[in-house]
Structure 1
């Protein structure tokens, strides 16, 4: 945003500076043209006056001397035509076409002392002319060849000075625009960061009060709103955790009563009804356990996102292959009951380590393995440690029915379950818990289709533990 605003301000500043420079340079050109024209017209008037005196006295000595002196001084040619002859100085040829035309116009008493505007990179010379004589008779014509090179050099110098001043002014204005833009937009950038932090963690730090008064007031309002919202979110999470925790005692007591009741049931119908009650009670226990674990996982995400969070305080790494092997061994009895074949593979350095909470990594891997055994019975389940570039990947893949693309996108939603698995017991929060715990440990959960069939769940860590990797390479 800063670049866009600064870009617009830069264009406006450059346009302003260019317009200002154009006005100054145009004024300088007009001023030099006017000065040159006035000086040369005055010189031509003086030559014409001397020529009138020469024509009256029939003596051209003074006239020729003044013409030669002028031409030597200014490097400009003169032609004066009298009734008795034509005088020339400075090498100006009276037979040149433009000189003849100027003499012809002057003989008609048409004086021409105007000059074209001086330009810094122009070339060539110009002619000015006038006639002289009495009120009733033209006695001669005077032609001057004006050399604007000195005025052009002066104008180029002014252009150079103006250009340097323009660049300095533009740089100063752009610097000022950058400072003003930063001053105005810095609170907006802080606000954007705070909004993202609030979205990801449910809390945010207090915004600094900087910038214009309106933005300072906005920062104060957002800080107050974020604090209130954070308290509400935290209160809701705590309510869920406390509720699920405190319900355990009455549910446990209810289970004890149901167990005692089952012992007193006599016939088959009563036993089946009691078993149904027990199954529903076990489902309630499972849901409460899942809700509590989800509340803990969400709290871990916030705890890690806060400055100095849990993951930032980890002193060492965890060997993911070791934890993966332990969870695979733990799942083998369940795999035998469901007819699955468990395979453990290591396609990365077995000694690498990752920054992760060991208990939570085991919980994530156990959840993914149980999910594969539950929804893909009788298939091959592969647990693999991979390294792709700087990323460490732990993959659990099965060859079961898998999920559709739309279902993959919804699989981490709370309480979501595939319609194809409605007959299988579950709470719909396993993938949500894994996703939250992965985020809390600096990783992310990626669900995809396994080829040719099945589900592939990956926990992706951005990099391994540097110190441990260097030690292993040694």
Structure 2
């Protein structure tokens, strides 16, 4: 936004500076033209008077001396035509078309004493002319060639001064525009970041009361709204966690009663019905456990991404070598993999990889991903490994099972979502959601990708630890 606003303001600054400069330079050209015209018309009138006197006295020697002295001083030609002949100086010839035209107009008693506006980069000289004589008779014509080079040089010097002044003014205006734009847009940028933070984490920091009055009021309103939304979301998380926790007691009591009831049952049909109730209770217990874990993971993710002081968070996280944790989880999952007909392998790292993560939560994430691979890809080869990435390291769990289509991969971290083809496999649809939230809580992310030619890859990507970056 700042670039777009500055582009518009820069265009306006250029237009203003060019307009002001054009007005100043046009005024300077007009001023120099007028000054030169007044001076040369005065000289023309003087020579016309001298020529009129010479025509009456029949003596042009004085006139010739004055004309030669003028031409030597200013470098301009003069031509005066009388009834007795033509007097000239400075090499001005009546054969020139412009001089001839000026003489013809003056012979008709039409004076031409107006100079064309001076151009800084023009060339050539200008001509002014007038007639002289009595009120009833034209005795001759006087023509003066006006040299414009000196005036053009003055105008170019003014152009240079105005150019430097225009650049300085443009720089000053652009600097002022940048400062004002930053002052105006800084609250907008903070508000945009706060909206994104609220969208992704459910919390946002206090916006500073800065900027124009309207934006300060908007910041205050947004902060109040964000606090309300955050409190509402936190209340919902606490309600879910508390409800799940409180339900464990009656469910546990119900489980105990059913176990006692099973001891009293004699018929096979009754025992089968009781076993079905127990299976449903186990499903409820599993779901309650999943909801509690999800509430804890979401609380960790939201808390870790919005806490201003991350000291407590860093106490839980540590820069660790993930290989021992992966080894432990692989060993723990080997019996389940053998029962499912799967082959579970751990690949040693090609390079030393370190990640910043809570060890217990990393073990939980890896264990959940391995369990999912065993459950939903029976008979597959499951590989657990670490890899280096452009920004850090990743823990990769991949299998060569059937995999998931793109739309199902995108929905795999949604709460309670399960693939239609897995509906008959026991599960509550919370495992991948918990892994995703725990990855966020530890500054990482979960990426679900296809494996070629078939299968699925789950990547836990972590940024390079700060200690490793400093090294």
Same fold at TM > 0.5:
yes
Query: Could you state the TM-score of these two structures normalised by the residue count of structure 2?
Result: 0.96
Q: CA deviation at 1:336?
A: 1.8
Q: CA deviation at 1:316?
A: 3.9
* Aligned equivalent of 1:155: 155
Q: CA deviation at 1:436?
A: 0.6
DSSP-derived class of the 2:356 partner: coil
Alpha-carbon distance in structure 1 between the residues aligned to 2:445 and 2:51: 101
Alpha-carbon distance in structure 2 between the residues aligned to 1:79 and 1:365: 106
* Aligned equivalent of 1:329: 331
* Aligned equivalent of 1:414: 415
* Aligned equivalent of 2:353: 352
Q: Determine if contact 2:398/2:458 at 8 Å carries over to the other structure.
A: yes
Q: Determine if contact 1:55/1:82 at 8 Å carries over to the other structure.
A: yes
DSSP-derived class of the 1:132 partner: strand
Q: CA deviation at 1:348?
A: 2.8
Q: Residues 34, 313 of structure 1: CA spacing in aligned structure 2 closer, same or farther, 3 A cutoff? A: farther
* Aligned equivalent of 2:140: 140
* The 10-residue stretch of structure 1 (245-254 or 446-455) with the greater mean CA deviation from structure 2: 446-455
Matched, 1:439 2:440: yes
Q: Determine if contact 1:294/1:429 at 8 Å carries over to the other structure.
A: yes
User: What pairs with 1:55-454 in structure 2 (closer than 5 Å)?
Assistant: 55-305=55-305, 306-309=307-310, 310-313=312-315, 316-349=318-351, 351-454=352-455
Q: Determine if contact 1:353/1:468 at 8 Å carries over to the other structure.
A: no
Alpha-carbon distance in structure 2 between the residues aligned to 1:175 and 1:336: 71
Q: CA deviation at 1:314?
A: 5.6
Aligned residues: 469
Q: Determine if contact 2:318/2:358 at 8 Å carries over to the other structure.
A: no
Alpha-carbon distance in structure 1 between the residues aligned to 2:237 and 2:261: 35
Q: CA deviation at 1:215?
A: 0.8
Q: CA deviation at 1:347?
A: 3.7
Q: Determine if contact 1:311/1:440 at 8 Å carries over to the other structure.
A: no
Q: Residues 469, 193 of structure 1: CA spacing in aligned structure 2 closer, same or farther, 3 A cutoff? A: closer
Alpha-carbon distance in structure 2 between the residues aligned to 1:101 and 1:303: 93
Deviations 1:82-106 (A, max 9, x none): 2222111122223334323322332
Q: CA deviation at 1:315?
A: 7.0
Q: Determine if contact 2:387/2:395 at 8 Å carries over to the other structure.
A: yes
DSSP-derived class of the 1:272 partner: helix
Alpha-carbon distance in structure 2 between the residues aligned to 1:239 and 1:434: 21
Q: Determine if contact 2:322/2:354 at 8 Å carries over to the other structure.
A: yes
Alpha-carbon distance in structure 2 between the residues aligned to 1:464 and 1:15: 51
Alpha-carbon distance in structure 1 between the residues aligned to 2:378 and 2:290: 22
Q: Residues 80, 298 of structure 1: CA spacing in aligned structure 2 closer, same or farther, 3 A cutoff? A: same
DSSP-derived class of the 1:396 partner: strand
Q: Determine if contact 1:184/1:212 at 8 Å carries over to the other structure.
A: yes
Deviations 1:237-291 (A, max 9, x none): 1111111112111111111111111111110110110000000000000000000
DSSP-derived class of the 2:454 partner: coil
Alpha-carbon distance in structure 2 between the residues aligned to 1:157 and 1:398: 79
Q: Residues 451, 94 of structure 1: CA spacing in aligned structure 2 closer, same or farther, 3 A cutoff? A: closer
Tell me, which stretches of 5 or more residues in structure 1 are unaligned?
none
Alpha-carbon distance in structure 1 between the residues aligned to 2:324 and 2:469: 15
Q: Residues 156, 320 of structure 1: CA spacing in aligned structure 2 closer, same or farther, 3 A cutoff? A: same
Q: Determine if contact 2:395/2:459 at 8 Å carries over to the other structure.
A: yes
Q: CA deviation at 1:132?
A: 0.9
DSSP-derived class of the 1:355 partner: strand
* The 10-residue stretch of structure 1 (301-310 or 283-292) with the greater mean CA deviation from structure 2: 301-310
* The 10-residue stretch of structure 1 (363-372 or 137-146) with the greater mean CA deviation from structure 2: 137-146
Deviations 1:214-247 (A, max 9, x none): 1111111111111111111111111111111121
* The 10-residue stretch of structure 1 (278-287 or 61-70) with the greater mean CA deviation from structure 2: 61-70
Query: Could you state the TM-score of these two structures normalised by the residue count of structure 1?
Result: 0.95
DSSP-derived class of the 2:357 partner: coil
* The 10-residue stretch of structure 1 (228-237 or 306-315) with the greater mean CA deviation from structure 2: 306-315
Q: Residues 426, 172 of structure 1: CA spacing in aligned structure 2 closer, same or farther, 3 A cutoff? A: same
Alpha-carbon distance in structure 1 between the residues aligned to 2:469 and 2:15: 59
Alpha-carbon distance in structure 1 between the residues aligned to 2:470 and 2:156: 67
* Aligned equivalent of 2:461: 460
Alpha-carbon distance in structure 2 between the residues aligned to 1:266 and 1:320: 52
DSSP-derived class of the 1:317 partner: strand
Deviations 1:43-86 (A, max 9, x none): 10110011001101112122112212211221111111122221
Alpha-carbon distance in structure 1 between the residues aligned to 2:83 and 2:439: 110
Deviations 1:415-453 (A, max 9, x none): 000010110110001000001111111111111222222
* The 10-residue stretch of structure 1 (335-344 or 354-363) with the greater mean CA deviation from structure 2: 335-344
Q: Residues 465, 116 of structure 1: CA spacing in aligned structure 2 closer, same or farther, 3 A cutoff? A: closer
